[in-house]
Structure 1
Amino acid sequence: MLYRLWNHAAKGTDPVAEFIEGSEAAGYDGAERGHIDMARARSGGLAGGLCAIYITSGHLDFGKPDERGNYETPLSKPLERQPSLDIALQMAAIALRIERAGGWNICRNSRDIAAAIEAGKFAAVLHMEGCEAIDAELSALETFYAAGLRSLGPVWSRNNIFGHGVPFAYPMSPDTGPGLTEAGKRLVGECNRLGIMIDLAHITEKGFWDAAKLSDQPLVVSHSNVHAITPVARNLTDRQLDAVRESKGLVGLNFAVGMLRPDGREDANTPISDMIRHIDHLVDRLGIEGVAIGSDFDGATVPAEIGDAAGLQKLVDGLRDAGYGDGDLAKICRDNWLRVLASAWHE
């Protein structure tokens, strides 16, 4: 979401007004309208979430599927740190401006989340997806922490000084390259010390196991799905899911259609039943306490039946029809996230 608001600000749009009043009011429609603003979040019952500082790689040339639907997208080139830092600071400033305008509350602990929900404010947890803005000495991490950063993914689907990302490819194992670098291992340790949740959504399988060995937090994969159903490199093997369960962590369902469909195709006409199929497998492997909603709003093509944040209750209704009771739904939609955040934040 912050990337979209930042990108539109470069075109002359007020990002604060766009979130509060809506992308449509700001003159955007279609794909540029994005998936989330204050009104659509309220309409879908979305009380809060991870709001990502994400630095784009520019035009990513996705591999074209062959006759069998197989494709492989080369990893994006690494980004330079200084421009990445500038952009990350601009996005953090947008987040702070939205808070000052009353559009959301930036939440630094569980009490902040509870207070935001009680006040009817969007509970924004500042997240960083790919740490190109952070230096190897981790000095900038302290600054972003002071600004409210409470969650980060060491890598996006590209390599950086902290580790290696997985490509967008089907079919492919997540074991695509090396794991954490020495700087990445220091980053994990410092996140453990500060209380910043570590997200393993885009990292290689080796990086996943490196973090599992080093981190004292529950293993969290904020937006990935089941490799046994959809064998894209971004999805998780059953062995990885077992490790998440053992750590009392969670996996958030990714709404990206190419990560939901068994054929891996980028087709918005993907039924909600495909989403439920992944959730069923996650529950079987992780237990109900290990499954959550991840979405990837503003970062992927989502099923047309969902559309955007306003359509979230359609997934809830589908889960209820599939036999999930109110207690199960409370865990999947809210309580499991609150538990792992509190654990990562030393509460």
Structure 2
Amino acid sequence: MPSAKSGGFGGGFFAVYVPSPVDLEFKFEEMAKPAYDLPLPDPIDWEDAFPVVMSQAAILFDLEKRGALKVCKSAADLRATLGSGKLAAIFHIEGAEAIDAELNTLEVLYQAGLRSLGPVWSRSTIFGHGVPFRYPSTPDIGAGLTDHGLRLVKRCDELGIMVDLSHLNEAGFWDVARHSSKPLVATHSNAHAICPHSRNLTDKQLAAIRESDGMVGLNFAVAFLRDDGRMLADVPLEQMLRHLDHLIEHLGEDRVGLGSDYDGAVVPEELTSCAGLPKLRHAMAKHGYDDALIAKLCHENWLRVLEKTWGA
């Protein structure tokens, strides 16, 4: 909270995430190498994932009770909360392991405030397949959404839950593009043309996102920013601006924002917490972005696309 206040952080996607038993030290050592291909973690059963999601969601709602944030269920909630002194929190789940095949859990989570969902993290679910931590690589890795996944996308569209394309492989991306009536959104992804990592989006994918009037949030994770794909934190802010320039060129000024991935990744040394965000805004201004564009990138574009997805 102190970092958020000092950095002018107004809110964002608060991700509920079920961790895999991964040796992080080994993972980061491997990802510091010039090339790597980490195996996908094993799938997690619903019975194991569900209590983790419930416990993490309870933390979010406890923070709301304490007055630290507001769980926003509409674009109107977001607009009213920004600048109020409370963080505007979007209840997001990264990886749908806690949702059953019949989608009963989805209905209950929606009533609790869920408004954004990634069908996968970097492991398979009953709904689809993620991409491994692999460099160099394209995101075209394996099959796309399952029949359960197609039903999940349809029901999310009906309810007004944003489907997050970050972490989906390319086949899954195109399945969502074919079957969803909503804007295509990747909350935390970067440009594959600059960093050829499996997690990043190709120019063809960016064109589809633009056509749907969706958007992409810039990922701060260094392995997806650096040209060499290495998990090393000595990344200048200018490298982030290279990705922003590319995204703006291919998506337009109204379809690019910030995605961060705080508390989930190694980030550039100057941005190790929300308190560093003014440095990024200053770098944008120095780079030639005017106040109107910076406002779009920092919050206005997210409000626009969420209003289109959720309604007012």
Shorter-chain TM band: over 0.9
C-alpha spacing 1:77/1:67, structure 2 compared with 1 (3 Å): closer
* Cα distance, 1:119 vs structure 2: 2.0
> Where does residue 224 of structure 1 map in the other structure?
189
Contact preservation (8 Å) 1:62, 1:72:
no
Structure 2 residue 204 is matched with structure 1 residue 252: no
In 2, distance between residues paired with 1:303 and 1:96? 30
C-alpha spacing 1:66/1:249, structure 2 compared with 1 (3 Å): closer
In 1, distance between residues paired with 2:309 and 2:34? 39
Contact preservation (8 Å) 1:63, 1:71:
no
> Where does residue 133 of structure 1 map in the other structure?
98
> Where does residue 319 of structure 1 map in the other structure?
284
Q: Secondary structure at the match of 2:88?
A: strand
Q: Any gaps of 5 or more consecutive residues in structure 1?
A: 1-37
Structure 2 residue 5 is matched with structure 1 residue 42: yes
In 2, distance between residues paired with 1:118 and 1:320? 22
Q: Secondary structure at the match of 2:93?
A: strand
Percent identity at matched positions? 51
Contact preservation (8 Å) 1:257, 1:267:
yes
* Cα distance, 1:285 vs structure 2: 0.5
C-alpha spacing 1:67/1:199, structure 2 compared with 1 (3 Å): closer
C-alpha spacing 1:263/1:50, structure 2 compared with 1 (3 Å): same
In 1, distance between residues paired with 2:264 and 2:220? 10
> What is the CA deviation profile of residues 64-106 of structure 1, one whole-angstrom value per residue up to 9, with x for unaligned ones?
5599701011101000111200110111111111101101000
Q: 1:184 aligns with which of 149, 174, 182?
A: 149
1:9-24 correspondence runs (5 A): none
In 2, distance between residues paired with 1:55 and 1:206? 23
* Cα distance, 1:146 vs structure 2: 1.0
Contact preservation (8 Å) 2:44, 2:97:
yes
Contact preservation (8 Å) 1:64, 1:71:
no
Contact preservation (8 Å) 1:282, 1:291:
yes
Q: Which residue identity lines up with residue 57 of structure 1 in the other structure?
A: S
Q: 1:145 aligns with which of 86, 110, 134?
A: 110
Q: Which residue identity lines up with residue 271 of structure 2 in the other structure?
A: I
Q: 1:336 aligns with which of 288, 294, 301?
A: 301
> Where does residue 28 of structure 1 map in the other structure?
none
Contact preservation (8 Å) 1:158, 1:164:
yes
Q: 2:35 aligns with which of 57, 67, 70?
A: 70
C-alpha spacing 1:171/1:98, structure 2 compared with 1 (3 Å): same
Q: Which residue identity lines up with residue 207 of structure 2 in the other structure?
A: D
In 1, distance between residues paired with 2:175 and 2:81? 35
> Where does residue 8 of structure 1 map in the other structure?
none
Structure 2 residue 240 is matched with structure 1 residue 275: yes
Instruction: Give the number of equivalent residue pairs.
Output: 310
Q: Secondary structure at the match of 2:82?
A: helix
Contact preservation (8 Å) 2:32, 2:232:
no
* Cα distance, 1:62 vs structure 2: 2.6
Runs of 4+ in 1 over 2 A off after TM superposition: 60-68
Q: Secondary structure at the match of 2:311?
A: coil
Q: 2:203 aligns with which of 238, 249, 254?
A: 238
In 1, distance between residues paired with 2:32 and 2:270? 27
In 2, distance between residues paired with 1:307 and 1:169? 24
Q: Which residue identity lines up with residue 163 of structure 1 in the other structure?
A: G
> What is the CA deviation profile of residues 33-64 of structure 1, one whole-angstrom value per residue up to 9, with x for unaligned ones?
xxxxx111111111000001100012155385
Contact preservation (8 Å) 2:117, 2:163:
yes
TM-score where L is the length of structure 1: 0.87
In 2, distance between residues paired with 1:85 and 1:68? 35
Contact preservation (8 Å) 1:55, 1:88:
yes
In 2, distance between residues paired with 1:118 and 1:303? 27
In 1, distance between residues paired with 2:30 and 2:153? 36
> Where does residue 59 of structure 2 map in the other structure?
94
C-alpha spacing 1:328/1:67, structure 2 compared with 1 (3 Å): closer
C-alpha spacing 1:68/1:111, structure 2 compared with 1 (3 Å): closer
Q: Secondary structure at the match of 1:62?
A: helix
Structure 2 residue 269 is matched with structure 1 residue 309: no
> What is the CA deviation profile of residues 152-178 of structure 1, one whole-angstrom value per residue up to 9, with x for unaligned ones?
000000001000000001000100111
> Where does residue 167 of structure 1 map in the other structure?
132
TM-score where L is the length of structure 2: 0.97
Q: Secondary structure at the match of 2:125?
A: coil
In 2, distance between residues paired with 1:67 and 1:160? 28
Q: Which moved more, 1:114-123 or 1:148-157?
A: 114-123
* Cα distance, 1:117 vs structure 2: 1.7
